[in-house]
Structure 1
Amino acid sequence: MKLTLAGLRAFVPGLPEDVPALRDALDASGLEVKGMETDGPQTVVTLEFLANRGDHRSYAGVADELAARLGLPRTGLPATRLTTSAEAPAVTVESGRCLAYTLTPLTVTDPGAALPADTLERLATAGLSTGLTVVDAAQAAGLETGQPVHAFDADLVAGPVVVRESRPGEAIRLNAGEDPRELTAGTLVVADREKLLAVAGVVGGTEAAVSATTRRVLLESAAYDPVSVRLAAGALGLSTPASQRYERGSDPTAPLAGAGRAVALLENAGAAVRDGDTAEPVRWAGPLPTVAIDAADCARFLGLGLTLDDMADRLADYGFRQQEPGVFQVPGTRIWDVKEPEDLYEELARHIGFDELPGTALPAGTGALPTRRETLLRTIGDTLVGLGFYETFTEGFYGRDTLKLLAPAGDHPLAPHVRIGNAEDRRYSMLKNNCLAQAVAAAAANLRFKQDQIRLFEATRVFEPSPEADNGLCHERPVVWALALGSSDPMRWSDKAPEMDFFFLRGAVEEIALRCRADVRFVPLPPEHPLADSLHPHRSARILLGDRPAGVLGEVHPDVRRRAGLGGKRPCYLELAVEEWEYEDRPAVLPPFREDPPVERMLDFVTPRTVTSEEILAVMRAAAPDWLRTLRVVDVFVPGKAAPGERSITYLITFNSEPARTAEEINGILDVLVAAVTTEFGDAGVRLR
């Protein structure tokens, strides 16, 4: 957000002339300065605001911080004191998510009247100028005070104004010449008898918008539930100055003051006059909250002692008034982010200055070796990074919309969740019991941004509800998941590389197993597995370490892809159960370097389709000596002289070369393996090729 230094001085006249000193004061106040540009007499400051501080998104909010930090007096700008009465415009509020609402009637007396030059300069710097005096006055009031103000053309409003929730199928036209946008049912809106006038707290529609021909105005100033505004703005894909302010929490006591500033600008410019009293169908009724702090606890938190009187004086600079010893009333601008004593301790720390707080050396020891799990996770992560994957981080919570990608029925293993009964944001109301839904959602998000080469992984936890768990709620199970989509070699220029598929991820698992010195196998995914109906039935597998289930991999099911809007893209998913990969008898590290390479041999059996490769592998493993290193399938093909239904399967057999073994000894073992297979399956037609 861009602000002018002259505009800040209108609120804090004593600000230092030294620009670097002002920048230091902004930084010390927790306002990140992205840049300062001086063009002649004008200095423009670009600020980055904290996500939970909606009050900062205005000149008044930034001025409050500077005045408190520098110990300077804070002034205000002229505002008209509005009178409310029952004779005001007819307006009703039908939703409790509208916390306060005012509507002030105006008559435009001079549409071409100009607002003060400094006001126009502030609007131009912020990129909010429209050239319409009434609209600019409303924008200026929001920019200066932090209270959004919106104007409707009263002659285009049909009947009483009502604030309510949208009905199924209702739509609003946001831009001239475009089709109306249908709203999600339950969206908070402002409407008249015939149409929707605005999406509350987000954006106004075009059908009652102020224009150069407007002669009567209804000036709206309100306060809305932050979550409602955030959801509405997200559904529309919009971010406006009003929504940015409302979704971070606006001051529910300020609507009249914000409207009063806009009215003062218009009346002083000779652009408009009030046409009656202001309607106020809803005034915020809740008392301002209080927070109690303890002086001793504060001293421990900050590392220095402050008397209660000293704390009261410092907090008063930020608008916190002491109601009784140690109990402070939170100002309306801060009720959304100040809830705990530690929040007030942070205010004190900013007032004192973080650099002024005493520093103490952190306790230090000699360190500790990484645990077995830490070593394992590092090994898995390094292997995936080496294969081109990027580590990502997802939330421990999700909502129904994310879970709908998998569409589990009521009796499905993924249907039960540990839920938050009073979640402030329904998008994060359930502890996740799977990672596939978020992985697919991440793929969809990347594709929306035209990124179709996707290799993601994460080490996280899933929470499986169980009354038998130690905590009485759920088992926390550590997992590593990965998702691959796109070309296996996007940098190749000579010809098109194959897409990453089931076998690409299987190779990744085999590489991880090699580095962890684990004996990995793949078997068909049983239908009772929780993810079985979310993965492709013929391109999925369960991962086994020995005989223990240790993960799953497979191509995402077409139904899941369709619900996620992936089109023809076919991502593949991998999930490893971390606890099953933790071996007590062997560390999760690379095997020691051997000077002699392992001894490799191949056996090729012609088999009917009634005998699977896994069955032959099991027989050979049972017959092999303990110095066998690996045994795996490397090729399957149909030989030229094969009978109908026959195929040839090639197995790669790797033996440890230490101690040294003769060729005769190796060949003798191969004879044993061939004899074991032909004895077991000879009657079925299995033979050495």
Structure 2
Amino acid sequence: MYLSLNWLKDYVQPDLSPEALSDLLTMAGLEVDGMEVSGPSLDGVVVGRVLTAEQHPNADRLRVCTVDIGGSPEASGESEPVQIVCGAPNVAAGQMVPVATVGTVLMLPDRETGEPTPVTIKKGKIRGEVSFGMICAEDELGLGDDHDGILVLDTDATPGTPLAEVIALPGDIVYDIALTPNRPDAASHIGVARDVAALTDTVLTLPQVDTPEASGEVNERITVEIEDTDGCARYAAMLVTGVTVAPSPDWLRERLEAIGVRPINNVVDVTNFVLHEMGQPLHAFDLAHIAGDTIRVRASRAGEKVTTLDDVERELPEGTLLICDKERPVAVAGVMGAANSEVSDSTTDVLIESAYFDPARIRSAAKALSMQTDASYRFERGVDPTAQVRAASRAAALIAEVGGGTVASGAIDENPVRFEPTVVTVRPERARMLIGAEIADDEMITLLQAIGFEVAESGADTLQAFADGAFASGHVAEAASDASGAGLRVVVPPFRPDVEREVDVIEEIARLWGYDNVPTPRTAPVALVPTPEAPAERLLAAARTQLAALGFRELFTNSLVPSETAERYAGADWTGQETRTVETLNPISQEIAAMRPSLLHGLVNAAAYNQKRGASDLRLFESGHVYARSTDASQPVEGFAEHTALAFAISGLAQQQRWDAPTRASDFYDLKGVVMAVLSASGVTGIEETPRREPSGLTAYALELSARGQRLGVIARVSDAVAEAADLAAPLFAAELDWDAVARVAARGLTRYEAISRFPTVDRDLALVLDAEQPVGPLAETIRRAGGPLLQDVRLFDLYTGDRIEAGKKSAAFTLVFGADRTLRDKEVDGRVKKIVRTLEHQHGATLRA
């Protein structure tokens, strides 16, 4: 969810920097994933005092100015006042002005297109006079549209002071909050403001809203019938007549654009504004298109279809909650309106819908229709069931303000299912025990009341009076009469459906008191016998350290992905087997509807993200669990398989240009070398390689690795189809290992160290002729096995195809290094070489080159 700081300050005024507010929200459970600054950048722009302003000797419209900019060598490279040539007619001695110093980047309009273009201010000559900067106009700084002259500052600031410290900058700070599903109350600016006010002990200021009674003109003009009370517990509506549909005013457009919402018109923009302000989704109907002036809320019938606002005709699953008029559906409840009743330029009378829909029904409909909207996002998590009339009143007043209409008297409020608040008994001693801190009872009450909870100590008289004054309902009164338990009785506010039990309330106390304030205990129990680390975990930890030392950066991506992504990256060409993906039940979003079948998706996304931002030379790795359907009865969960994987990826340059060597692009063999190094360090030997040269869905070409009959993984170049879909700017080479399989075949036992032999080694070269299509890797492995303990190393040093080799053949030359802790005799080395040659001829058809 995007949160505008300027918008937030309409309700609360925290005395915190944007960075400090970000930290505060994160520590309170509203994790800030990112913070974006909008508005002009004034880096390098300082306050200057014009000392002199003389006529330019070679130009009538220019003046040569001497400007004191504070003697800042960092800004100007000068310790004395600087000379600046200025063309503004209003520049004069004695003025305080904004000066863009040498090296400053300004967004100035392009001479041809007029579009803002970054321009670096440089030292230069203008008609023969040297200029060390630029005295700026308002529009050149992004502070307005005025270009009639330079901006003259009304300030007594010292020359050299950064301009950003002197003037109030337009712009905004927008926070990207990773909202957890249990906090629907925070899916709005007022919801977050409530937390901020509580955390900073400041006042929460809510907009003034006049809530009408459920009567009046609107009830005479519109009839609302709720047939499906299980799906719709409350339906409120208000009417605004005489509206002129037009573009929204600047303040409204700016609020929406700041959080990434596209303005449409003043009516629709108001409904979006109230949604993001209060968290209550609204919908605006053109009353002229509501047949029979009737709204009916019912379940859809089999085969029923609706054309939604995005002009797509959708067949609805039976039981989908619908908003209908006398003749037809006019909206899919809680998801999207229909095109047949949308607000248009000709609309004059606007009917505002504000309802409470069952979260499970909305979630089911949104998933079935593959539609996630701002409205469904909030409805399926649970909105405040008491806020419908208030939200409709807020929207009606704003529509009348920005659209010139009149709010019809009264409101419709059909409320067949009365809301009953949750009442929880909280034991302060248990709260102190669970939190691990001595928090006074009074402080707990203060913290809870700050976020809308009503609290009273348990006592028959006190609690009864409290219940009568808090939420007058039979539920509360019944709970109030039971005063036998000691502790605090807490009435949960209706906008917090996630708080149901004592421990939930205790969590709120801990969150507001501050997790970072919980003291670290002086002692803690420690098991007498440490939990042994599994061999696979030890090997993986060592591999991660090795990869980091090789310059790889570790990724941590979500194990939940869209279903389409899971299907795409579950191919047998990558995973090694045909499998069905694992989908989650009732996902809260289509973006996290399935479990990842491999780690390739995360590598591809990370590579594309970095390449688009100029980081093209990449070395990435990730470890984590991957999932698939399985018929293996030995799996811990029947029908499902899960294993740990380790994946790598490289792209861009393997070697930067040096004075003694040119650049070199990364290739398949760079990645293969890393994979083999990791496997070797893990104690895996006897690796068999099976090349796949034919392109497939995920790979352009690949090399399958196995050992002792178990598939270890694959090394490949990512296919062109995947690269194009992700918009990769350079080839990506990737590998993925089944780390559980690696651990099974890895050598066990202690690492043994041997002293370097003081005896010389013996080198022999073998030049072999083999089929041109024959991979060389298996030959090297055969040489190692046949060479026995005397063979210490095998290196390929030459590959040749040409006139001296018959067609369809190639020559591969190896250096063999023999050694032992003694002096070797020629006879035993020759015998070993002969055995190697015989084995190569028998297994691979390779012969010595004449």
- Please tell me the residue identity of whatever aligns with 2:392: A
Alpha-carbon contact 1:5-1:44 (below 8 Å) kept:
no
Alpha-carbon contact 2:621-2:646 (below 8 Å) kept:
yes
Aligned to 2:432: 299
Alpha-carbon contact 1:148-1:221 (below 8 Å) kept:
yes
Q: 1:548 to 1:353 in 2, by over 3 A?
A: closer
Q: 1:267 to 1:597 in 2, by over 3 A?
A: farther
Aligned to 1:360: 521
Q: In 1, Cα distance between the equivalents of 2:329 and 2:165?
A: 42
Aligned to 1:65: 195
Aligned to 1:255: 388
Q: 1:452 to 1:269 in 2, by over 3 A?
A: closer
1:483, distance to aligned residue in structure 2 (A): 3.7
Report the secondary structure of 2:568's partner residue. Answer: coil
Q: In 2, Cα distance between the equivalents of 1:43 and 1:192?
A: 44
Q: Mean Cα displacement is larger for which, 189-198 or 58-67? A: 189-198
For 1:573-598, what per-residue CA distance to the aligned partner results, in whole angstroms no more than 9, with x for missing partners?
332424236432244x9999999998
Q: In 2, Cα distance between the equivalents of 1:327 and 1:76?
A: 30
Q: In 1, Cα distance between the equivalents of 2:350 and 2:846?
A: 91
Alignment counterpart, residue 105 of structure 1, candidates 239, 248, 252? 239
Alpha-carbon contact 1:95-1:165 (below 8 Å) kept:
no
Alpha-carbon contact 1:221-1:258 (below 8 Å) kept:
yes
Give yes or no for the alignment of 1:512 onto 2:645.
no
Alpha-carbon contact 1:372-1:582 (below 8 Å) kept:
no
- Please tell me the residue identity of whatever aligns with 1:251: D
Q: 1:566 to 1:616 in 2, by over 3 A?
A: closer
Q: Under a length normalisation based on structure 1, what TM-score does the superposition of the two structures give? A: 0.71
1:470, distance to aligned residue in structure 2 (A): 5.1
- Please tell me the residue identity of whatever aligns with 2:737: E
Aligned to 1:51: 179
Q: In 1, Cα distance between the equivalents of 2:170 and 2:609?
A: 41
- The alignment yields a C-alpha RMSD, in angstroms, of 6.0
Q: 1:158 to 1:543 in 2, by over 3 A?
A: farther
Q: 1:198 to 1:623 in 2, by over 3 A?
A: same
Aligned to 1:405: 568
Q: 1:153 to 1:536 in 2, by over 3 A?
A: closer
Alpha-carbon contact 1:620-1:673 (below 8 Å) kept:
no
Q: Mean Cα displacement is larger for which, 143-152 or 490-499? A: 490-499
Q: Mean Cα displacement is larger for which, 489-498 or 214-223? A: 489-498
Alignment counterpart, residue 767 of structure 2, candidates 586, 598, 604? 604
Question: Which runs of 5 or more residues in structure 1 are unaligned?
Answer: 10-14, 175-179, 527-531
Report the secondary structure of 2:452's partner residue. Answer: coil
Bigger Rg over Cα: 2
Report the secondary structure of 1:7's partner residue. Answer: coil
1:457, distance to aligned residue in structure 2 (A): 2.0
Aligned to 2:837: 677
Q: In 2, Cα distance between the equivalents of 1:91 and 1:467?
A: 54
Alpha-carbon contact 1:105-1:217 (below 8 Å) kept:
yes
Report the secondary structure of 1:625's partner residue. Answer: helix
Q: In 1, Cα distance between the equivalents of 2:402 and 2:309?
A: 32
Aligned to 2:209: 78
Q: 1:251 to 1:212 in 2, by over 3 A?
A: same
Aligned to 2:11: 8
For 1:340-370, what per-residue CA distance to the aligned partner results, in whole angstroms no more than 9, with x for missing partners?
6444223212444556544424649899998
Q: In 1, Cα distance between the equivalents of 2:765 and 2:23?
A: 71
Aligned to 1:377: 540
Alpha-carbon contact 1:54-1:248 (below 8 Å) kept:
yes
For 1:111-165, what per-residue CA distance to the aligned partner results, in whole angstroms no more than 9, with x for missing partners?
89x99x9999988998989797655654554455333444344346677667888
Aligned to 2:24: 27
Q: 1:558 to 1:223 in 2, by over 3 A?
A: farther
Alpha-carbon contact 2:18-2:173 (below 8 Å) kept:
no
Report the secondary structure of 1:77's partner residue. Answer: coil
Alpha-carbon contact 1:99-1:225 (below 8 Å) kept:
yes
Alpha-carbon contact 2:552-2:620 (below 8 Å) kept:
yes
Q: 1:169 to 1:377 in 2, by over 3 A?
A: farther
Aligned to 1:330: 492
- Please tell me the residue identity of whatever aligns with 2:676: E
Alpha-carbon contact 1:150-1:219 (below 8 Å) kept:
yes
Q: In 2, Cα distance between the equivalents of 1:445 and 1:127?
A: 20
Aligned to 1:687: 848
Q: In 2, Cα distance between the equivalents of 1:490 and 1:89?
A: 74
In the TM superposition, 1:482-497 aligns within 5 A as 482-484=648-650, 486-489=651-654, 491=656, 497=664
Give yes or no for the alignment of 1:456 onto 2:620.
yes
In the TM superposition, 1:256-655 aligns within 5 A as 256-265=389-398, 271-275=404-408, 278=411, 288=421, 293=426, 295-304=428-437, 311=444, 314-321=447-454, 324=479, 328-335=490-497, 337-338=498-499, 341-353=502-514, 357-361=518-522, 363=524, 373=536, 375-385=538-548, 389-398=552-561, 400-406=563-569, 414-415=578-579, 420-421=584-585, 423-425=587-589, 428=592, 431-432=595-596, 434-436=598-600, 455-463=619-627, 465=630, 466-469=632-635, 476-484=642-650, 486-489=651-654, 491=656, 497=664, 500-501=667-668, 503-516=669-682, 518-524=684-690, 539-544=702-707, 549-555=711-717, 572-577=734-739, 578-580=742-744, 582-587=746-751, 601-608=764-771, 616-617=779-780, 620-631=783-794, 633=796, 635-655=798-818
1:339, distance to aligned residue in structure 2 (A): 5.3
Alpha-carbon contact 2:655-2:665 (below 8 Å) kept:
no
Q: In 1, Cα distance between the equivalents of 2:829 and 2:640?
A: 50
Taking only the aligned residue pairs, the percentage that are identical comes to: 22
Size of the aligned set, in residue pairs, is: 661
1:405, distance to aligned residue in structure 2 (A): 0.8
Q: In 2, Cα distance between the equivalents of 1:397 and 1:579?
A: 25
Report the secondary structure of 1:626's partner residue. Answer: helix
